[in-house]
Amino acid sequence: MMAYIIRRVLYVIPVVFGVALVTFILFNVVGWNAASQMLGKHASPEEIAALQERLGLSGPLYQQFSHYLWQIVTLDFGRSYATNQKISTLILNGILPSLSLTVPIFLIDLLLAIGIALVAAYYRNTWLDRSIVVLAVIGMSISYLVYILVGQYLLAYRAGMFPIWGYETAKYLLLPVIIGVVSGLGSGVRFYRTVMLDEMYQDYVRTAFAKGCTQRSVLFKHVLKNAMIPILTSVVLSIPFLYTGNLLLENFFGIPGLGYLSVEAINSADYPVIKAVVFVGSVLYVFASLLTDICYALVDPRIKLR
């Protein structure tokens, strides 16, 4: 296990370097002229050149890239074009609001989806299973924006049960969490139900029934355990996205997380902030993939680490 982990960590190094190279190319080579966009279309070439010099965008590309790599190593991504604040400070300040929103949504959604999927698998091919599938498909078909607008209008504005905007107390997070859970529950139920049913038709399930095991015992002691591989894949690979926050919920409810920060950076053409958020999220996804492979071996001893 330790040898495998060391090899995978060493493998991550060139992957992270590749991520840094791609983000640099997208934002510094293929992209736009940040100085001219910040100054506007009426800026003179001298003003643009002076701002490029101040922002460190006038040197050769290899110098800019080496400076970008040094920023990554020191975790200092420079300053925001719009606010002149340190980007690392902006990210640190936005992590907690984002996690306070995304973590409850993620955990509640996961538990409810797996529980409902187990019920659907237990009563498969019955009216209850079909009803769950129909409701899940309907839930998946409704736009995320519709959930937000209907929730804000009916529960916050008309009923006055929740505040519409702000991030002052835990009460301000209740409605966004409810909307996030309800909007994502349908796809989760569909996925986990499919996983459970795939296992229900395996040979070991037929063997367990032939040995006299009850359906409840087979479902909870055998099927759920063997379905952990795809469940782990879905869960662990979703963890990095908790960091980036929820773009729509944070902006519609005024939650100052990384999703809100990203949208504001896009609107103000604050490219260093966008680049930093994209890079950190990509690196977290790489490490989540590593964690997924390790969890595979811990959950299923049939998987050998090579």
Tell me the per-residue pLDDT of 15-55, one tens digit each, with 9 for 90 and over: 889 988 888 888 776 655 666 666 666 667 777 677 667 76
Q: Is the pLDDT of residue 235 over 60?
A: yes
pLDDT recorded at residue 105:
94
Can you say how many angstroms the Cα of residue 169 is from the centroid of all Cα atoms in its chain? 24
Separation CA 189–CA 112 (nearest Å):
8
pLDDT recorded at residue 181:
94
Separation CA 120–CA 6 (nearest Å):
41
The radius of gyration computed from the CA coordinates of the chain, to the nearest angstrom, equals 24
pLDDT tens-digit series, residues 118-135: 888 888 889 999 999 999
In which band, very low, low, confident or very high, does the pLDDT at 109 lie, cut at 50, 70 and 90?
very high
**The two structure tokens encoding residue 199:** 């296992």
pLDDT recorded at residue 200:
80
Topology of domain 93-267 in CATH is: MetI-like fold (1.10.3720)
Q: How far is CA 210 from CA 16, 121, 139, 205, 222, in A?
A: 50, 19, 38, 9, 14
**The two structure tokens encoding residue 135:** 């409701």
Bridge partners for 86 per DSSP: 79
DSSP label of 188: H
Separation CA 252–CA 157 (nearest Å):
14
For CA atoms 245, 246, 247, 251, give the dihedral sign.
negative
pTM to 2 decimal places: 0.83
End-to-end CA distance of the chain: give it in Å, rounded. Answer: 9
**The two structure tokens encoding residue 72:** 């990554």
pLDDT recorded at residue 57:
66
Q: Is the pLDDT of residue 178 over 90?
A: yes
Separation CA 88–CA 78 (nearest Å):
8
DSSP label of 84: -
pLDDT recorded at residue 123:
85
Q: Is the pLDDT of residue 58 over 80?
A: no
Separation CA 79–CA 87 (nearest Å):
5
